Structure 1
Amino acid sequence: MSSGGRQAGAFARLCLVILAVSSALLVSGPAFYLRIMKGFQRNPSSSSSPPPPFSSSSSSSACPNCICDCPATISLQKIAPGLVNLTIPGGADCGKEDSEVGAEMEKGRADLMKEEAALRMAVVEDERRHMNYTIGEARRQGLQYQKEAQKCNSATEACEEAREHAEAMLKREKKVTAAWERRARQLGWTDPA
């Protein structure tokens, strides 16, 4: 199976290499072809080369002028007059109707920084509370696992003691059975099997 896997891996690599080379040629091939053809056109010694694609049959290398029927450009002033100077009509009294927005707009830089600091402190306090809760839960679960492990250890010890006791009892019973079997043979008993 490993040789089949190696062959499949080698085949997959070969397919990827072929795919990569063909993709590279597909993307860059036309550009290289045009560049090579232009180089052959400039070289006067190679007159038997075919003309490059998309060129006219004339011997001049200059492109003919393009004929464009493009529409006239539309100015931003005509599309959205309010956006040219980035002002909104009636924007001077923006937020004056809403008392909360108006109060927020009139706050100074120091007040905004105090609010930002208070918000960050609140976030830090929430994260600390969450971290303490998580640590407490981890401790509780750890103690519970320790109790379960102690129960398992004591049960294992009890089972081990019971097994050792049963082995000792089995040895004693085998000795008693062997003694009785020996007495029975001495008295003429034979094994029916």
Structure 2
Amino acid sequence: MAHSSRHGFCNPGFLRLVLVLVSVCLVGYIVGPPLYWHLRENLTVEASCPPCVCDCSSEAIFSIPLGLLNSSFADCGKHDPDMSEEMEKDIVNLLSEELNLQRNVTNDNLEHTKAAILDMKKTSSQYQKEAEKCNSGMETCEEAREKAEAALVAECKLSALWEKRAREQGWKDRRRA
């Protein structure tokens, strides 16, 4: 009995539907997590921002001519106690405070640099001691090699002398024959 192509899994409409569903799932799988984290990050940034304590309305800002726009924002922070305290400080105090901060940073950097130099000197000293030990060991080995070479030369001369005497006495080398 023959099967009809309109029934079952071979139906083109059914295959098209399955492919569309698989495509949608793949796109959601690929795009979903980055989109989720991006949206979540934006929500946490907006939630962590403190509310503005300014008394400026948006209508007042748009009605001000562009030349006066910056001067109108100067009044905006007067109600904030931290901002008003900072604004009351005169320029000399601000500059001296900045210089003190720069001096502290410079002193901290200098201390770290001195500590790094001291560690480098200690490490360099250790390496130098190891190099001296190595050189001493090399000299000892070189002296021992020279003594062994001299002893070998003396032994070869003595062996040649004994072989010469043995040949004079009638000895024949069996290895050469």
User: What's the TM-score, normalizing by structure 1?
Assistant: 0.52
Structure 1 residue 181 and structure 2 residue 163: aligned? Answer: yes
Who is 2:152 aligned against? 170
Instruction: Extract unaligned runs of 5+ from structure 1.
Output: 1-79
Contact 1:95 1:102 in 2 (8 A): yes
Instruction: Extract unaligned runs of 5+ from structure 2.
Output: 1-61
Who is 2:117 aligned against? 135
The structure where helix makes up a greater share of residues is: 2
- How large is the Cα RMSD of the aligned pairs? 2.3
Contact 1:95 1:101 in 2 (8 A): yes
Distance 1:83 1:177 in 2: 115
- The alpha-carbon deviation at position 162 of structure 1 amounts to 0.9
Matches within 5 A, 1:22-41: none
Distance 2:65 2:113 in 1: 49
Structure 1 residue 190 and structure 2 residue 172: aligned? Answer: yes
- The alpha-carbon deviation at position 118 of structure 1 amounts to 0.6
Bigger RCO (CA 8 Å, 6+ sep): 2
| Moved beyond 3 Å, runs of 4+ | 80-83
Q: Which amino acid aligns with 2:67?
A: N
What SS does the aligned partner of 1:87 have? helix
**Number of residues of Structure 1 aligned to a counterpart in Structure 2:** 114
- The alpha-carbon deviation at position 135 of structure 1 amounts to 1.8
Identity among equivalent positions (%) equals 45
Who is 2:140 aligned against? 158
User: What's the TM-score, normalizing by structure 2?
Assistant: 0.56
